Amino acid sequence: MPKTPIFTGSCTAIVTPYTETGVDYAKYEELLEMQYAGGTSAILVCGTTGENPTHTAEEHNKLTELTVKRCAGRMKVIVGVGSNNTEHALEQAKHAEGCGADGILMVTPYYNKTTQAGLIEHFSYVADRVKVPMILYNVPSRTGIGIKPTTYKALSAHPNINGVKEASGNIAEYALTRSMCGDELVFWSGNDSDTVPMMALGAYGVISVASNIIPADVAKLCQLCLDGDFKAATAEYFRLADFFDKLFIETNPIPVKTAMNLAGLNVGKLRLPLVDMAEGNKAKLIESMHAVGLKTV
């Protein structure tokens, strides 16, 4: 059955701002307003970029509840619920559903490194037990396991699995998957650098890191693709390509939080095990920021 995308365009995988003692919820609300003003279509809260693995259950739940409350009627809300403990993922999915989230994002289970059959059971177990639509998250560089095209095809038959955040970087395999699944599975780019080629092959947008600091630019890039103007989209991508690259010069979200602090957004420090960016890389990041019109303080 054809799936209707939860959102189209740009979804920001939002950072979590911290104080010395916890989450800076007041600053977080400011960031949500910045996203809305920039034309962002959806917010992914408690994702990788949000440093969710370091959050307590209380922080995860409060961030989820606050995001749904502040975004209601303005931006869609997707909640990261991925875990290598299937029951824990279900617990977080039920909380997101109870809050009124528009979708949940489930990453492939890391460390356990299950089989493709195990992936089908893991995702289906949660999708069977909630009504909030699920987005699968494929990022083998972080988890050690990727979702194969035949596995996507099997999962596409589940009525509650809406789509995929595809961050493998393998455009050929993505194209094969699209040919197999058709409209039974919605795709979004999981990498800013892959947005244009993936949307040219039918993706509906991007779940973006860069849009934390340049939301209007990423929203524009997606809209050009949605409008079918890939010549203009390519030109816009070329303008942003080096900045997209520098946002991954070290492990995400180290560069994007560094850039936001350099731009005066004051999102606080990273939580261990993430550490400050190396000075040499910071200089390259600053140069790239200036090239796309971002000022540093």
Query: Is 202 within 8 Å of 227 (Cβ atoms)?
Result: no
Active site residue 27: no
pLDDT at residue 1, as a whole number: 77
Per the domain annotation, does 238 fall within a domain? no
Mean pLDDT, each 10-residue run in order, the chain (297 residues): 95 97 97 98 98 97 98 97 96 98 97 96 98 97 96 98 97 97 97 98 98 98 98 98 98 98 98 97 98 96
CATH number for position 24: 3.20.20.70
How do 134-138 and 9-13 pair as beta strands? Answer: unpaired
Q: How many domains does the chain have?
A: 1
Catalytic pick from 3, 27, 76, 165? 165
* 155 lies in some domain: yes
Tell whether 203 is covered by a domain.
yes
8 A C-beta contact, residue 185 and residue 1: no
| 293 is a domain residue | no
In the residue annotation, 165 being an active-site residue is answered as yes
CA angle 109, 272, 218 (to 5 degrees): 70
Terminal Cα distance for the chain, rounded: 51
Choosing from 18, 28, 137, 237, the catalytic residue is: 137
pLDDT at 59: 98
Name every residue whose Cβ is closer than 8 Å to that of residue 287 and which is 6 or more positions away in sequence: none
What pLDDT is recorded for position 179?
Answer: 97
Residue 240 falls inside a structural domain: no
Q: Is residue 245 part of a domain?
A: no
Q: Containing domain of residue 29, as a range? A: 9-233
Asked if 189 and 213 count as a contact pair (C-beta separation under 8 A), the reply is no
Q: Is residue 26 part of a domain?
A: yes
Q: Is 81 a domain residue?
A: yes
Looking at residue 193, its pLDDT comes to 97
